[in-house]
Every structure is written in structure tokens, then in C-alpha cells.
A and B are shown apart, each in its own frame.
Chain A
């Protein structure tokens, strides 16, 4: 099984202005050892912000093809750690 974690940070307008800019500094808050095992990419728009029924709002991040909303640096760190640990048990 592929043990690397794929992280796609949305850099679309509405994600970027609502906190996405801080998420791009992932090197500052995620454990460097874990960052090394992750493929971090930017994505121009996940299209999640246009879903009116969704309870979550921007910024959005896609981790291993699951979209998470209302992302903050702390929340991102937590989820990445969880996903990473689950894959590397």
C-alpha cells in the first residue's frame, strides 16, 4: 500500500483569502519528518466552495482524495498526523 500522504491545498480566491494563505506555510507547523512523507501540491480550485448545501466553508484541503473544509493550520496538522499514523501503523 502506498504510504505517502497526498495533500492538495486549494489556492482559489475564496480559500486563499479565508486562511488558505497560511496553510501554504505547512513547513512551519507540520512535523518535518511527516512533511517528507507527504506530497504537497497546490490546486487552483477544488470546487467545494460552490456547493451551497455544504456546511463547511473555505479554506478547503484535499487529503488523500477526501475534502476537508474550515481548515486551519492546527486542524491540518492534526488530520495529517492522523492520516499518516493510520497508514504507517
Chain B
């Protein structure tokens, strides 16, 4: 598993009264080529027309970034393709493209960054803002109605670095009302610095949410433009270990416990027998929490050093079904399944240790069919986590 995680997320509020946004953010991960592309585009005007322009721009930018064309050429293609606005007789949309390339074994992450008419992106090393100046490229396009200048820069991101990209809805928020000239780049910079001082390891999702809602407040809760902010944050991955099933050989019990102790991250034990083994070898008490009664899943337990201890197959089956159907977390009952899912979704990488011993008690024909084979169930769980939630997973059998 990678030792580095690139956390890309965004937050957006549409212009007041609009049901569709004129800002479009897209991201695509291509694990085979170790590449992530994140694009933010702001279309001319607002509503449907702006959305069409921005979607076209963002989609083209995304696709062209995966092609071998150079960025200047891609930018020209985008601008030549955009439709012309009926009222203003121009075709126009802004964009920022971050083409991120990483190496599994190298902590250096290269970002090719291209900006056209969006507010300048902010670059932070941990809590410190770094000033950057890119190369200016003049496009010299035949149909240009104004001087088209693209700013290009290369960043080498390391753990703790952030690149924050936003549309002019952020910098112009509060214009003429709460702030005479809008929030401005300097205001946003100051705000982000303050947040990072307070929460140094804030996730991209939470940081962009804070920025966007601050701008929303400055606008007096009636936004004058679409407000969009995205953040690229390089950090150490949050990890979770899931141990399920007793080892095939009794002699491996000690090995299993060593692995649990050595693991750095959150720890979940799924299975009564497995919990008993760990409790016996590590001399830890299991305390079942009977306050969370549910007719579907047995209650969870507590054990020192473990973040969650649950029953095995029933809970896992429920967890898998919930994740496969992408159910909303808040709609779930407060039971072991919810706790389980909260823990998994809060991490970037999930490692499974699956014991291969067959449970004699599950061979009884009178118990429900849902109790499938552990290995198939774990495979389904991995697939759901990778496909629906973009988590990285790994597995080992014991």
C-alpha cells in the first residue's frame, strides 16, 4: 500500500436562486498511470448556459490532460471549441487544471498546474503560505477577443502540502456589502492560515467546506455567484485494520496478535471467536455494550486498544449490503453496523486479515442462508470500498 495519500475534495454552493451551477469541478483518478487530474472551470454567466460552458471546458481539460498533448495546445483547443454566447458574442470560461503525477515509492508528487483567469491558487506548506509565480504564456489565438494569458507552474508536493483552488465567487464574496472590495485573495489567504493553525491536519473536505461557507456568510446567505473551492492535500494515509476469523492453525494465534499490536491505525475485530482469541492472548477484557439493541445485528463490544469489537458474519453481511447500496450514514440505526461503517469511511486504506478456519457452529442447516462464506463476503466488501468509496484495500489470509 502507498505511504502517501492524495486527498482531493471540493465544496460548492450555487448562485442564489439557481438550481444548476456555472462552476464545474471534476476529478479523475487513473491508478494504472499514477495520475490524478482535478479541474475547476467557471463558465460565462450563470445557470444552464454557464454550466454548459464550464462542463465542456472541464471535461475537455480532464480528457486532454490524460493525452500526450502539451497544456498550451490543450488550452487552445478548449477555447476554440467553446460555443459563443448569444448576448455577449464571446465564448469564454475560466479554468484551473491540476495534473498530478505520483510515484508509489517516491514521496515527491509532481503537479503541472495551469490557470486561466481564475483567482490565483494558494499553496501551503503545512500551515505556511508560499508565494508562487508561474510562467505566463500568451496564447495568440486567432479568434481571441482579448489578450489570453495562461499561468503555468510546476509544483513538487510533499506530505503536508496543500494546493487550494477556487472560483471568483470566493474572492468576490461580500462585494459591496460586508466587504467593500470583496473578500479578496488576501482575505482568503489569511482565513486559511488561521484555520490551518487551529486544525493542522484538516481534511480537504472540511477545509473547502469551511472556506465556502465563510464566503456564503460574507454574501449574506444569498450568494451573488457560484462559490466553489477545491483542495489537493498530500498526507499520510489514515489506516484501519479489520481482523476477522480465527487462524487456520491454532499456532498462528500468537502471530495474529503480534500483527494486531504492530499495526498503526484504527483496529476492528469482527467475530466472537476471534475476539476471544485476542482477549485470551493479550489478556484484555471484552465488555459487551448491551445498550445498542437491534434485532438485526448483535451488540458491539469494547476492548482496550481496539476501536471496535463486533460479532462476525451478521454484522459484516449488513455492512457489505449497506456499502454496496451506498446508503446514507445518517439514515442508519445506531448499532454496530453504523459504528463499523463510520470507522471504515473515515480511513483511506483498509487492511484485512482474514482467518481461514471454518466455524463448526455455522454448518447448522437451521441458521439463515445469509451467513455466507467469509472470504466471499470480504471480497464483496473490498469491491464496494474500492468502487463506491475510492478506498485502497489489501488483504492477507492467516
Minimal Cβ-Cβ distance residue in A for B297: A16
CB pair A44 B290 closer than 8 Å: no
Q: How far is the CA of A24 from the CA of B311 in the complex (A)?
A: 15
Asked whether, in the complex, the Cβ of B276 is within 8 Å of the Cβ of A24, the reply is no
Closest partner residue, chain B, to A21 (CB atom): B295
Inter-chain contacts of B151 with A (CB < 8 A): none
Q: Which of A44, A49, A50 contacts B275 (CB 8 A)?
A: A44
Q: Chain A contact residues (Cβ within 8 angstroms of B): what range?
A: 20 to 34
Using an 8 Å CB-CB cutoff, how does the interface string of B269-292 with A read, 1 for contact, 0 for none?
A: 000110110000000001111100
Q: How far apart are the CA atoms of A45 and B297 in the complex, in Å?
A: 15
Known: A11-B272, A24-B299, A25-B293. A44 touches B361 (CB 8 A): no
A-B contact count (CB 8 A): 79
Complex CA–CA separation, A20 to B309 (angstroms): 18
Q: Is A57 an interface residue (CB 8 A)?
A: yes
Stretch at the interface among A35-43, A61-69, A74-82: A35-43
Contact of A42 among B294, B299, B312, B366 (CB under 8 A): B299
Interface size (B, Cβ < 8 Å)? 30
A14 — which chain B residues lie within 8 A by C-beta? 361-362, 364, 367
Given contacts A18-B367, A57-B364, A58-B361, contact A45 B314 (CB under 8 A): no
Asked whether A52 is an interface residue with its Cβ less than 8 Å from the other chain, the reply is: yes
Q: B313's contact among A13, A18, A42, A58, by CB below 8 Å, is which?
A: A13
Which one of B298, B301, B359 contacts A20 once the chains associate, using CB atoms below 8 Å? B298
Asked if residues A13 and B371 are in contact (CB atoms below 8 Å), the reply is yes
> Could you pull out 20 A-B pairs where Cβ atoms are within 8 angstroms?
A13-B311, A13-B312, A13-B314, A13-B359, A14-B361, A14-B362, A14-B367, A16-B314, A21-B295, A21-B298, A25-B293, A42-B289, A42-B290, A42-B299, A43-B286, A44-B275, A45-B273, A50-B361, A52-B360, A57-B364
